[in-house]
Amino acid sequence: MYDVAVIGAGVTGGMIARKLSSYNLTICLLEKENDVAMGATRANSAIVHAGFDAEEGTLKAKLNVKGSEMMKQVTDELGVKYKNNGSLVIGFNAEDRAVLEGLLERGRKNGVRDLRIIEKEELGRIEPNISKNVICALYAPTGAIVCPYDLAIAAIGNAMDNGVKLKLNFEVTGIKKTEEGYEISSGEEKISARYIVNAAGLYADAIAAMAGDTSLRIRPRRGEYILLDKECGGLVTHTIFRTPSKMGKGILVTPTVDGNLLTGPTSVDMEEKEDKATTPEGFARIIKEACENVDGIPFNKTITSFCGLRAVGNTGDFIINTPLEGFVNVAGIESPGLSASPAIAEYVAQLLEEQGLALSAKMDYDPYRKSMHAFREASIEEKNALIRKDRTYGKIVCRCEGVTEGEILEAIRTNPKPSDLDGVKRRTRAQMGRCQGGFCGPYIVELLARELGIPYDKVTKSGGDSYINIGETKEDR
Amino acid sequence: MTDLVIIGGGPAGMSAAVAAYESGIRDILILERDENLGGILQQCIHNGFGLHKFGEELTGPEYAWRYEKKVRELGIPFKLNTMVLDITEDRVITATSSEEGVFQIQAKAIILAMGCRERSKGALNIAGTRPAGIYSAGTAQKYVNRKGYMPGKNVVILGSGDIGLIMARRMTLEGASVKAVCELMPYSGGLARNIEQCLHDFNIPLKLSTTVVEIHGKDRVTGVTIAAVDERRRPIPETREYIPCDTLLLSVGLIPENELSKSAGISLDRITGGAEVDQDRQTSVEGIFACGNVLHVHDLVDYVSEEAEIAGRSAAEYIKGAKPGDESVRITTDGKVRYTVPQRVTADKAVNVYFRVADVYKNVTIQVYRDGEPVYAKKKARVAPGEMETLRIGEDIIKGAKELKLGLEVSGQ
Ligand SMILES: Cc1cc2nc3c(=O)[nH]c(=O)nc-3n(C[C@H](O)[C@H](O)[C@H](O)COP(=O)(O)OP(=O)(O)OC[C@H]3O[C@@H](n4cnc5c(N)ncnc54)[C@H](O)[C@@H]3O)c2cc1C
């Protein structure tokens, strides 16, 4: 019997599990996929929003501003890359300016620091490639960028190091109330827990319904992106948003913490919760709008495109409540969910305490996790000292991103351990560069097979039936 | 200080090393990131290599071995499993290996021979999902030929580059069914002989002016939608056709790998993607030379060796004190000729110019213009982008010229 079962290993569930692991509790984190951070957390804009978007008084506004202020420390503890690059919402005309003034007002009420409107001349100085048609911008110096799956992986790894049990490929299919709490099943497999935190993203409505709360409705909304080569990352230094309109927030242009340039997202309501396909219309829209915002974006330097699904709830706000005894919903966590995640975790801990869960601080809780980027950032001397101890750190496997065998092996052996190619990619950036794994893929398959003790052709791209190879060639049989 | 450091131990790097040795340079070092010499040839187990150079048909590894044997016999030092991370304009090389960790070398001259990589799916922005089962043709070749595993059974190939054509045959021989090879352009980018021997002989359809517009499948590819394209290469919706398959191979172009060249500040040719060089294959940075697929993509390894020998000899001369000529004559093109290598000439001597054309043309006259005046013409029945052409420009033409231009006159289509 666990004290708490957290359902969903995205950034929300991950941050909650980490927070709870600082108390004397037994916790399990349940995830249906073969790895963590496979939902919205995998594919989003990666922005730590300053907090001027959401309406005053909403949970979104409160938790965003608080989460964004906590983010620097959290990422330091977890060894996750974070950059306080500031953001700009650009306006093209008087109508936009009026909207920006409204946002400025709202942001100030929400408690966002240092917000101000800047004019064309100053804008041109700090962001020389911004479109010449822009007349002004709302400048938010507290805006930042982070790598969302890196954050979730690190939070979950840290939670595991502090005792949390992660169960992958555990798709919750049934929840039964028992005397002491709940029995949670995934097919034949069952576990029990006194409390449940439902952080199942798009499926939070289904999970809630299993427990008897039918008030939730979560709809998927597609967001497509185009990611450009590192050569282009310096085109802008701030995150460039458009002025929001009836049509939504529009296409943004931003550098990523790894130095790429990211453009997107589109915004289309969907029926299917698994449909992560990109579309030609989406690409066309991204390219058109991004080029209106910033001059000279070289889309011929595209390295990949992808799609994320927003979990849109039925209230317009985050839905964080306790509809049943010992059961907390953390649903409708659309943007700014990533930014808010550290604050959401604190809030949820508080709700659990109100539900009677005793929170006593764990003496040996360690909030720190070794950075997975340590080798990359080390000096030549430090690198050589490590290579002398472990030669695999001298061998580059991924040429495009310069990732060594040592770093890949370290990632494969570190919580939460990846067991597929995409998992290694998200942790090390190997296969994420311009050749997209063309060169290093076959070797990483070999490393995974060896480390996991499975045959070469049983290695998958991302779990399930996503096998890279389907068998041996004739000659070898 | 090392006289000559060669980055890359493929056919280009090895040929250059041998040529430099034969020109009297002894202090040579080849740096290779792979665990053996030979580069991409190691996985090209089909034959067809060496027809020009040795007058016989060799497989890739056999061709590579001829040079590796030479390198070993001459005792030219090489380091394997060694990845160059950076080079500077002053020819300081930073590399890393398991044996030595991160180390630096100062070179008198450098030859860049890093080869090329395949264009990846990401660059194409194909709509749909991102399941397992999508590989560049070269990656699939590695799985099949080096690792002994089959990446799939029912295959569609996008792009008719040579590696794609070769893999169509290879996968078929391994028992897979290749449904189609789709080519965006109205002509194939591969060699005519490969289309004959790899597609026609196996009844694999080559669909020209056709592209893949959507990828389907969640875990593994379950199919692709293809469509014909109009003259402006836009898909025509009415022609959409679904093909069930579990694998999509991409052979959509090769890109010279010039990240290191950029770090040294070498100027690159926008069209070739490689360095701009003179007749000695010297780049815009003195003492740094380039040859092979890192300079421009070749279709035959024989030409790679030829070019590498030039670079090797020139680097040797440079080490012995020769300076690059300071007057340089640019070789420009008319657009029908897309590019030339070299792009400029700095010495009054005859030069072999390699070039590619922009489209398929029949009954053409290749024209050399000297300061605007036509001075040399050569007729050819057919030229195509997939086949590199070469032309010798005599000393008499080069001497005293301010500008040279290569063009095509097309008398028939
Ligand atoms: C296009 C887009 C752009 C965004 N941009 C930003 C941004 O710039 N800044 C920002 O702050 N936020 C942004 N967001 C929002 C942010 O990505 C999300 O708020 C955040 O990732 C949500 O995390 P999560 O853990 O709640 O959900 P998810 O990451 O979706 O995690 C839910 C997890 O639950 C698992 N699960 C589901 N059902 C079950 C089951 N039955 N059993 C077990 N496990 C289950 C899923 O597999 C998944 O791993 C964006 C979102 C999208 C889609």
Least CB–CB distance from A474: residue in B85, B152, B174: B174
Over residues B223-269, the pLDDT tens digits come to: 999 999 999 999 999 999 999 999 999 999 888 999 999 999 999 99
Q: Do residue B98 and residue A436 have CB atoms under 8 angstroms apart?
A: no
C-alpha of residue B359 to centroid of ligand 1, in Å: 48
Check residue A154 and give its pLDDT.
98
A206 pLDDT higher than 60 = yes
> B40 with B10: CB under 8 angstroms?
yes
Over residues A365-376, the pLDDT tens digits come to: 999 999 988 888
Residue among A365, A304, A343, A320 at smallest CA distance from A216: A320
Is the minimum CB–CB distance between B193 and chain A shorter than 8 Å?
A: no
Cis peptide before B374 (omega within 30 of 0): no
A-chain residue closest to B97, CA distance? A394
Assigned token pair, B311: 């670079």
Report how far residue B156's alpha carbon sits from residue B247's, in angstroms, rounded to the nearest whole number.
Answer: 6
Exposure string for A134-170, b = 16+ CB within 10 A, e = fewer = bebbbbbbbbbbbbbbbbbbbbbbbbbbbebebebeb
HEC string for chain A: CEEEEEECCCHHHHHHHHHHCCECCCEEEECCCCCCCCCCCCCCCCEECCCCCCCCCCHHHHHHHHHHHHHHHHHHHHCCCEECCCEEEEECCHHHHHHHHHHHHHHHHHCCCCCEEEEHHHHHHHCCCECCCCCEEEEECCCEEECHHHHHHHHHHHHHHCCCEEECCCCCCEEEECCCCEEEEECCEEEEEEEEEECCHHHHHHHHHHHCCCCCCCEEEEEEEEEECHHHHHHCCCEEEECCECCECCCEEEECCCCCEEEECCCEECCCCCCCCECHHHHHHHHHHHHHHECCCCHHHEEEEEEEEEEECCCCCCEEEEEECCEEEEECCCCCHHHHHHHHHHHHHHHHHHCCCCCCECCCCCCCCCCCCHHHHCCHHHHHHHHHHCHHHHCEEECCCCEEHHHHHHHHCCCCCCCCHHHHHHHHCCCCCCCCCCCCHHHHHHHHHHHHCCCHHHCECCCCCCECCCEECHHHC
Q: Average pLDDT, stretch A422-436?
A: 92
- Alpha carbon separation from B216 to A281, A284, B248 (Å, rounded): 17, 20, 10
C-alpha of residue A264 to centroid of ligand 1, in Å: 17
Query: Structural domain of residue B173, as residue ranges?
Result: 120-250
Shared domain check, B124 and B99: no
Band (pLDDT 50/70/90 cuts) for residue A476 is very low
Q: Is the CB of A8 under 6 A from ligand 1?
A: yes
Q: Is the CB of A336 under 6 A from ligand 1?
A: yes
C-alpha of residue A156 to centroid of ligand 1, in Å: 14
Check residue A248 and give its pLDDT.
78
C-alpha of residue A337 to centroid of ligand 1, in Å: 8
| Residues of chain B contacting residue A300, judged by C-beta atoms under 8 Å apart | 123
A470 pLDDT higher than 50 = yes
Report how far residue B30's alpha carbon sits from residue B5's, in angstroms, rounded to the nearest whole number.
Answer: 6
Question: Residue B335 — left, alpha, or beta (φ > 0 → left; ψ -120 to 50 → alpha)?
Answer: left
C-alpha of residue A462 to centroid of ligand 1, in Å: 17
Among B324, B345, B368, where does a domain finish? B324
Q: Do residue A471 and residue B144 have CB atoms under 8 angstroms apart?
A: no
Best residue in B120, B145, B153 for a mutation probing chain A (most A CBs within 10 Å): B120
Residue among A404, A399, A400 at smallest CA distance from A386: A404
Q: What is the DSSP letter of B295?
A: T
φ and ψ of A2, to 5 deg: -85, 155
- Alpha carbon separation from A212 to A174, A183, A329, A349, A357 (Å, rounded): 11, 13, 12, 22, 21
Report how far residue A275's alpha carbon sits from residue A292's, in angstroms, rounded to the nearest whole number.
Answer: 29
Among B250, B266, B281, where does a domain finish? B250
| Residues of chain B contacting residue A467, judged by C-beta atoms under 8 Å apart | 132, 220
Output the domain CATH number for residue B394.
2.60.40
Q: Of A49, A62, A426, A427, which one is the catalytic site residue? A: A49
Q: What is the mean pLDDT of chain B?
A: 94
Shared domain check, B128 and B95: no
DSSP B98-159: TTTEEEEEEEEEEEE---EEEPPGGGG--EE---B-EEEHHHHHIIIIII-EES-SEEEEE-
Q: What is the ipTM for the molecules in this complex?
A: 0.91
C-alpha of residue A318 to centroid of ligand 1, in Å: 12
Report how far residue B247's alpha carbon sits from residue A207's, in angstroms, rounded to the nearest whole number.
Answer: 35
Shared domain check, B151 and B89: no
DSSP H or E segment with residue B70:
helix B60-74
Over residues A298-357, the pLDDT tens digits come to: 998 899 999 999 999 999 999 999 999 999 999 999 999 999 999 999 999 999 999 999
Shared domain check, B349 and B298: no
High-pLDDT (> 70) share of chain A, %: 99
Which ligand 1 atom sits closest to the C-alpha of A46?
Answer: 8
Over residues A23-41, the pLDDT tens digits come to: 999 999 999 999 999 999 9
Band (pLDDT 50/70/90 cuts) for residue A477 is very low
| Residues of chain A contacting residue B128, judged by C-beta atoms under 8 Å apart | 277-278
Q: Do residue A395 and residue B81 have CB atoms under 8 angstroms apart?
A: yes
Which amino acid type is present at position A65?
V
The residues in B 70-109 lying below 8 A from A, measured between CB atoms, are 81, 83, 85, 96-102
Assigned token pair, B402: 């301010």
Residue whose pair of structure tokens reads 């690409």 in the numeric block: A283
Shared domain check, B217 and B268: no
Over residues B325-373, the pLDDT tens digits come to: 778 899 999 999 999 999 999 988 999 999 999 999 999 999 999 999 9
Cis peptide before B151 (omega within 30 of 0): no
Query: Dihedral of CA A416/A422/A426/A429: which sign?
Result: positive
Q: Is the CB of A265 under 6 A from ligand 1?
A: yes
Q: Is the CB of A44 under 6 A from ligand 1?
A: yes
Query: If 0-12 CB within 10 Å is exposed, 13-18 middle and 19+ buried, where does residue A84 land?
Result: middle
Q: Is the CB of A223 under 6 A from ligand 1?
A: yes
Q: What is the mean pLDDT of chain A?
A: 95
Among B324, B340, B356, where does a domain finish? B324
3-state secondary structure of B357: strand
> B29 with B2: CB under 8 angstroms?
yes
Q: Do residue A402 and residue B122 have CB atoms under 8 angstroms apart?
A: no
**Which domains, from first to last, does chain A contain?**
1-83+146-218+313-370 (3.50.50.60), 87-141+220-311 (3.30.9.10), 380-458 (1.10.10.1100)
B145 pLDDT higher than 70 = yes
| Residues of chain A contacting residue B142, judged by C-beta atoms under 8 Å apart | 442
Over residues B23-69, the pLDDT tens digits come to: 999 999 999 999 999 988 877 777 778 888 888 889 888 999 999 99
Report how far residue A77's alpha carbon sits from residue B172's, in angstroms, rounded to the nearest whole number.
Answer: 53
A70 pLDDT higher than 70 = yes
Check residue B412 and give its pLDDT.
58
Q: Average pLDDT, stretch A166-193?
A: 97
Shared domain check, B124 and B241: yes
Shared domain check, B212 and B156: yes
- Catalytic (active site) residue A373: no
The angle at the Cα of B25, spanning B19 to B28, to the nearest 5 degrees, equals 85
> A46 with A257: CB under 8 angstroms?
yes
Residue among A419, A435, B287 at smallest CA distance from A427: A419
Which amino acid type is present at position A66?
K
Residue among B386, B411, B287, B393 at smallest CA distance from B344: B393
| Residues of chain B contacting residue A460, judged by C-beta atoms under 8 Å apart | 132, 219
Is the minimum CB–CB distance between B123 and chain A shorter than 8 Å?
A: yes
How big is chain A by its Cα radius of gyration, in Å?
22
Residue among B226, B247, B13 at smallest CA distance from B152: B247
Check residue B54 and give its pLDDT.
87
Assigned token pair, B137: 């043709």
Shared domain check, B363 and B285: no
Q: Do residue B246 and residue A392 have CB atoms under 8 angstroms apart?
A: no
Shared domain check, B245 and B134: yes
Assigned token pair, A310: 């927003």
Q: How many domains are there within chain B? A: 3
| Residues of chain A contacting residue B125, judged by C-beta atoms under 8 Å apart | 226, 278, 283, 302, 305
Report how far residue B314's alpha carbon sits from residue A69's, in angstroms, rounded to the nearest whole number.
Answer: 60
Report how far residue B378's alpha carbon sits from residue B14's, in angstroms, rounded to the nearest whole number.
Answer: 33
Show contacts of A311-314: CB within 8 Å, 24+ apart: A311/A39, A311/A40, A311/A201, A311/A202, A311/A204, A311/A218, A311/A220, A312/A218, A312/A219, A312/A220, A312/A221, A312/A269, A313/A216, A313/A217, A313/A218, A314/A216, A314/A217, A314/A218, A314/A219
Is the minimum CB–CB distance between A466 and chain B shorter than 8 Å?
A: yes
Q: Do residue A435 and residue B138 have CB atoms under 8 angstroms apart?
A: no
Shared domain check, B240 and B217: yes
Q: Is the CB of A143 under 6 A from ligand 1?
A: no
pTM of the model: 0.92
CA distance B103 to chain A (A): 8
B-chain residue closest to A401, CA distance? B85
High-pLDDT (> 90) share of chain A, %: 92
Q: Is the CB of A204 under 6 A from ligand 1?
A: no
Shared domain check, B226 and B132: yes
Output the domain CATH number for residue B46.
3.50.50.60
Q: Average pLDDT, stretch A103-117?
A: 97
For A195-199, B121-125, B204-208, which range has the lowest pLDDT when averaged over its residues? Answer: B121-125
Q: What is the DSSP letter of B88?
A: -
| Residues of chain B contacting residue A283, judged by C-beta atoms under 8 Å apart | 125, 127
Least CB–CB distance from A302: residue in B81, B125, B131: B125
Check residue B306 and give its pLDDT.
94
Shared domain check, B313 and B379: no
Q: Do residue B132 and residue A274 have CB atoms under 8 angstroms apart?
A: no
> A218 with A332: CB under 8 angstroms?
yes
Check residue A299 and give its pLDDT.
94
3-state secondary structure of B83: strand
